[in-house]
Amino acid sequence: MTGVGIGIVFVILILLVLVLQIFTLLAVKRAPAGVVQGIPASDPASSKVVHEDEEEMAAAIAAALFMQSEEAHDQESGIITIVHNDHSNWHHFK
C-alpha cells in the first residue's frame, strides 16, 4: 500500500513538471519579440552600470545590517523564573 502511494506521488510530480514545461514553451512563443531580450555581455557600459548597482546594493545591505545590530542588543538579566501552576491537571495523567 505504501508503494502505491509513493508511486502516485511521483507520477503526479512528473505530470506537474511536464505541464509547467508546456506552459513555459507557450509563454515564450506568445511573448512579443522585444520582451525577451537580454543585454549583450560585450557592452562595457552595461557591465559598469550593473557593477555600480551591485556596489550600491552591497552598501545598502551593510548599512541595514549595521543599524539592525545596533538596535538588537537588549540587556538581559540572565535570570529565569519558573512559576509552578497548581491549577494545571497535567500531573494527573500518567
55-74 residue pLDDT tens: 888 889 999 988 887 776 66
Q: Is the pLDDT of residue 6 over 90?
A: yes
Residue scoring higher pLDDT (7 or 28): 7
- If phi over 0 gives left and psi between -120 and 50 gives alpha, with beta otherwise, what is residue 83? beta
User: Which pLDDT does position 88 carry in this prediction?
Assistant: 67
| Percentages of the chain per state (helix, strand, coil), in multiples of 5 | 65, 0, 35
| pLDDT band, very low/low/confident/very high, at 7 (cuts 50, 70, 90) | very high
Dist. CA 93–CA 11, nearest whole Å? 45
pTM of the complete model beyond 0.75: no
Asked if 14 and 22 count as a contact pair (C-beta separation under 8 A), the reply is no
Q: How many CA atoms lie within 13 A of 49 on its CB side?
A: 6
Name the strand (E) or helix (H) holding 64: helix 44-71
Asked if 39 and 33 count as a contact pair (C-beta separation under 8 A), the reply is no
